[in-house]
Structure 1
Amino acid sequence: MKKLFTVLFTIFIFISAAQAARSINMTGRFVPPDGKTLLFAGQNNADFDEFVAVNKKVPAGFMTYVALSDLKGLDEINNVGTGDMFADELVKKYPGAAVQIGLYLVGSLKNIVNGTLDGNIKEFAKWIKKTKSPVFLRIGYEFDNPENGYEPEIYKKAFIYIIEKMDSLKVENVAYVWHSYAASNPKGLDVWYPGDEYVDWCAISYFAGNDWLPMLKFSQKHSKPLMIAESAPMTWFGLTEAKKPYWYKVLFKFIEERNIKAFSYINCDWNAQGMFAHYNWGNSKISVTAEIEKIWIENIASNRFVWLDDLYKTIQKPLNEK
């Protein structure tokens, strides 16, 4: 009986210590100071390379997507009609660049919380640690988008489960991002929230017709940095090609006035990608017209935006680098 008590007490101390470590060390990771915004681009390899070529410098990081159910796109090419996504290739091509990953969980929530996908979480954890770069992980991105079909309670359980598994595997170079699609949501945001101790960043999508105010207020209330996790001037909700220059001007003003700490831009031709062609969202490449490229270059030249060459002067290095 005494031996059993000792074992249980040891387990209790270990769990309490792990929870304390998460509360102290894991929230607010890789946050730049006020007046600075980490710049990301994507969302496939070719579009990121083109973004670098047009800007003539490498942004703080690149963005990509991975489904936890199969992990394709990490150490092999994955193309589901959105262009080639191959994170390993970009990690090696742009050493030190941060990685912003949208973790797709549609159809996987039950398998996460019942342990079926533990092996995949372990492999994913190994990959994240191997990058030795800051990784921003959007767990179940756009959690409140009806198309994803996430129910709040099991979504929160899956979010927490993944993080606690990552903690147990001592993954230290990752920040966890809670990403709303920023549109009408009758349930509100609170019902989806995993808790302050599990969320490092709040995030929104910034396209056309979004409602950003609820998440802006939520992030301020919970003292969380705010990220624009996905953005592009897609031609819908009244945004026409003629109005795109104005869209960019409003975007940059929004980043400045709202103290956005990270900005992720999707530099792609939607109509050329099989998954999106039927939506007729247009071309969001910053080089699409001379006028848009000029607006982009003039605004992105601000000292606010953090590129790779200044990344580690702006945020702390990943803990696994010590």
Structure 2
Amino acid sequence: MPTNKLSIEEMVAQIDTTVDPDFVYAFQKTKFVPSDGKTLLIMGQTVEGITEYLDHFSKETIPGGWAAYWAVTEFNGVTETHTNETNSSQNHQMLVDQFPNTVLQSALWMVGKLDIDKNVSHGKYDSVLQQYSTWAKSINRPIYLRIGYEFDGMHNELEPEIYIKAYQYIVDFLRNDGVENIAFVWHSYASKPYKDYPASNWYPGDEYVDWVGISVFGHAYDDPNFGNYCDAVMEHAKVYKKPVMIAEANPIKGIEPKSDAAWTDWFVNFFSFCYEKNIKAISLINENWQRLHIDGIGEWKDGRLHNNPNVAKAWFLETDKERYLKQSETLFKELGYE
């Protein structure tokens, strides 16, 4: 028997919709930001995960955007499907072709290993950046580009000074090539950082950052503020008056078929945080982590929405609110992209 004794409406009512006025501020030096009281809804993050989501929820409204990945070292997964070593596939163009009137959240993989970050600012990957720039200018939609996503994560081994040079180099390259439909996202892991550097050490400067991004995984189960590291990033965003995007999120302890614990233990905290901190975009990863070959996530489980009908219904009851921006002929205008 399911452990849940609440109706779907009661499940959603558990969310605290109180907004902290300290996080309601006039955004500066940014672009493609939803208006007051609105949050952009994005889903991801692989061809397989997105396909499964659509197969199970074909009658639901299409989200406002989709997430995809590529690497600064090679132009794969952008214009054609590319299956990588994690046993998952990426294809930006597929999302463009299949879903008009949606945005793209594009994650650029860049790490410190093999001097990849150093090589960026030395021009080694200029041909890749040029291909991406040309492609970006060819599609008529906003792109939220996460450069070296989770820059402070221990798994990425990015030294702050080298990362900043690489980040600035990429932004300058794309701007100098005339790209205007990209918002640049500075995306923190929002957990214990590499070598215990404060996240602010990686900040490339106000002129180079349109959005601040955070990841929300295991720490959403405990502290309602998602821990001190996340709190520091949120405070940084507030100081520089930047909108915040939850760029990656998933209940990594899994969504069990016969228990709604994932909703009570993770989703309620997740949505309450979004309201309290005035989060302007959220990106949920629809994924079974057990099938992926990714180092360091051996304990992560199956966090796909369709595992549990109650959790899925509660998710859609919440995100069907007018607050959340989904696919629409007016979406781009609402984001200031015309």
What band does the TM-score fall into relative to the shorter chain?
Answer: 0.7 to 0.9
Verify: 1:99 aligned to 2:104, yes or no. yes
The residue that corresponds to 2:15 in the other structure is none
Match runs of 1:135-214 below 5 Å: 135-185=143-193, 186-209=196-219, 210-211=226-227, 212-214=230-232
- Which deviates more, 191-200 or 252-261? 252-261
Question: How has the CA–CA distance of structure 1 residues 60 and 272 changed in structure 2, closer, same or farther, with 3 Å as cutoff?
Answer: same
Secondary structure, aligned partner of 2:155: helix
Deviation string 1:127-172 (CA, Å, 9 cap, x unpaired) is 1111211000000000000110100001000000011111110000
Greater relative CO, 1 or 2 (CA 8 Å, sep 6+)? 2
Verify: 1:290 aligned to 2:295, yes or no. no
Aligned equivalents of 2:202, 2:148: Cα separation in 1 = 11
Aligned equivalents of 1:57, 1:302: Cα separation in 2 = 11
Question: How has the CA–CA distance of structure 1 residues 96 and 297 changed in structure 2, closer, same or farther, with 3 Å as cutoff?
Answer: closer
Find the partner of 2:31 among 14, 29, 32. Answer: 29
Q: TM-score, normalised by structure 1?
A: 0.85
Q: CA RMSD in A?
A: 1.9
The residue that corresponds to 1:266 in the other structure is 285
- Which deviates more, 287-296 or 63-72? 287-296
- Which deviates more, 87-96 or 193-202? 87-96
The residue that corresponds to 1:89 in the other structure is 94
The residue that corresponds to 1:62 in the other structure is 66
Find the partner of 1:302 among 316, 321, 324. Answer: 321
Secondary structure, aligned partner of 1:312: helix
Shift of 1:52: 3.9
1:96–1:132 CA contact under 8 A, matched in 2: no
Aligned equivalents of 2:291, 2:161: Cα separation in 1 = 37
Q: TM-score, normalised by structure 2?
A: 0.81
2:142–2:332 CA contact under 8 A, matched in 1: no
- Which deviates more, 207-216 or 275-284? 275-284
Match runs of 1:244-255 below 5 Å: 244-246=262-264, 247-255=266-274
Aligned equivalents of 1:112, 1:47: Cα separation in 2 = 30
- Which deviates more, 82-91 or 300-309? 82-91
Deviation string 1:94-147 (CA, Å, 9 cap, x unpaired) is 123211011001242111111111111111101111121100000000000011
2:246–2:281 CA contact under 8 A, matched in 1: yes
Secondary structure, aligned partner of 1:177: strand
Please identify which structure carries the higher helix content.
Answer: 1
2:189–2:215 CA contact under 8 A, matched in 1: yes
Secondary structure, aligned partner of 1:71: coil
Deviation string 1:293-320 (CA, Å, 9 cap, x unpaired) is 12212211221110011422421225xx
Give the aligned length: 289
1:271–1:281 CA contact under 8 A, matched in 2: yes
Q: Which runs of 5+ in 1 are unaligned?
A: 1-25
- Which deviates more, 167-176 or 272-281? 272-281
Verify: 1:275 aligned to 2:294, yes or no. yes
Verify: 1:77 aligned to 2:77, yes or no. no
The residue that corresponds to 1:14 in the other structure is none
Match runs of 1:4-19 below 5 Å: none
Aligned equivalents of 2:158, 2:298: Cα separation in 1 = 23
Question: In terms of Rg, which structure is larger?
Answer: 1
Shift of 1:223: 0.1
Shift of 1:273: 2.5
Residue type at the aligned position of 1:30 = F
